[in-house]
Amino acid sequence: MNIMVTNDDGIHAAGLRALAEAMTELGTVTVVAPDRERSAVGHSLTLHSPLRIFELHRGWYAVDGTPTDCVNMGIHNMLPIKPDLVVSGINHGANLGDDVTYSGTVAAAMEANLMGIPAIAFSLATFEPGNHFTDAAQIAVQVARQVIAHGLPADTFLNVNIPNCPRDRMQPTLITRQGKRSFIGKIVDKTDPRGRKYFWVGSEEPRPDDEPGTDFHAIHRHHVSITPLHLDLTNHKSLPILSRWTF
């Protein structure tokens, strides 16, 4: 297997290192990751400035762009052959519910999926300094083995969230659906010492739902959550309703 590893926390992130080391059990690993943290950049591409690549050591490359840039550069310009699998992460913090639309970690897996390559995004559900990246990396290997053995359905990639605890305390893995957050939407506005206004977004933690079957419900109970995603954002249920409108 030829496996490409990327992330959005940057080339020096502990989660990236743990994931890359664990994936060597499955084959040859090449790391192509942003040169610094690029969290919450979503599925963005760098179109109006050049991209530069820095080889840190053999098989490890930093790109001064987004996670999506890294996947594009890796597949089209850097890897000698098309990878068999792209894995993204392990993100420091969960990517649950609506957060997948912001996540650079998830977007990297999405980009690989658009190129026809099996892809998995991995996230560890904590923002605390103390973490269990090594345990999460072993879960990542288990999931990757299943993808290698069975393949993925067409137009599907996986979003995997892992509880921040030792493996022996994790509950069985669940296949989940994407949950929802209740956003408070508060924006703090203040004035800097020069008298200019500035604003701070995301000052309050959104309230997630806890509905059974969702990724939130699983993670809150120490289950590994695997959510199959695809890029089709069409609301198919609304098509017959809109088709009756007169334009």
Read off the CATH number of the domain in which 222 is found. Answer: 3.40.1210.10
Distance between CA 88 and CA 86 in Å, rounded? 7
Using an 8 Å Cβ cutoff, are 206 and 184 in contact?
yes
SS3 content of the chain, % helix, strand, coil (to 5): 30, 30, 40
In a domain, 45, yes or no: yes
pLDDT at 222: 96
Mean pLDDT by 10 residues, the chain (247 residues): 96 97 97 94 93 94 96 91 95 93 96 96 90 95 97 96 94 95 73 90 67 94 97 95 95
Six token digits for residue 163? 């509880």
Helices H, strands E: what count in the chain? 6, 13
In a domain, 189, yes or no: no
Tokens 């269990």 found at: 132
Distance between CA 37 and CA 103 in Å, rounded? 12
Domain count, the chain: 1
Using an 8 Å Cβ cutoff, are 75 and 84 in contact?
no
In a domain, 97, yes or no: yes
pLDDT at 16: 97
In a domain, 139, yes or no: yes
Tell me the CB-side half-sphere exposure of residue 182, using CA atoms within 13 A: 5
pLDDT at 182: 65
Bridge partners (DSSP) of residue 173 are none
pLDDT at 204: 57
Bridge partners (DSSP) of residue 124 are 92, 162
In a domain, 199, yes or no: no
Q: Name the residue type at position 170.
A: M
pLDDT at 132: 94
In a domain, 203, yes or no: no
Domain membership of residue 148 as a residue range = 2-180+209-242
In a domain, 176, yes or no: yes
In a domain, 186, yes or no: no
